[in-house]
Every structure is written in C-alpha cells, then in structure tokens.
Amino acid sequence: MIFETPCGSRVSPWTSTVVARQCVPRRGQPEDVAAAITFLANPHASFITAESLTIDGGWMPH
C-alpha cells in the first residue's frame, strides 16, 4: 500500500502504522511492480487475461 519513491520517502506515524499492519512489513519498491509487469509480459503468462493484480504487500485482507 505504501511505496517508496523519490516523492514518497518521508516516514510519518501513519506510514509506520500502515506498514506494520501489512503481511509484508516493508514499504513497496518500484521493483515490486516492475517484477509483476515483467511476469505478465512474459510468454509464460500468455493464457492470463482480464485479471487485476493487487501489489500491496498483503494490505487487502485488512
């Protein structure tokens, strides 16, 4: 849910709370999204259609 970017590198009390509640207790990196895009662009994913891929460190269950 919280990604580390040049514009979003500040850590506030709210940020720390959100990250602590995620299943993966760290801020997301641009590479996390890039890895998913690389997989979906790969021929091994050619049978995957019309899916939403949530890349949020496990935030959605909350």
What residues in the chain have per-residue pLDDT under 50?
none
Question: What pLDDT shows up at residue 7?
Answer: 67
The predicted pLDDT at position 10 comes to 67
- Give pLDDT, residue 12: 74
* φ, ψ dihedrals at 42, nearest 5°: -80, 145
What pLDDT shows up at residue 15?
A: 78
**Is residue 3 helix, strand or coil?**
strand
Contacts of 29 (CB under 8 A, 6+ apart): 3, 4
Q: Identify whether the C-beta of residue 58 lies closer than 8 Å to the C-beta of residue 1.
A: no
Q: What pLDDT shows up at residue 60?
A: 74
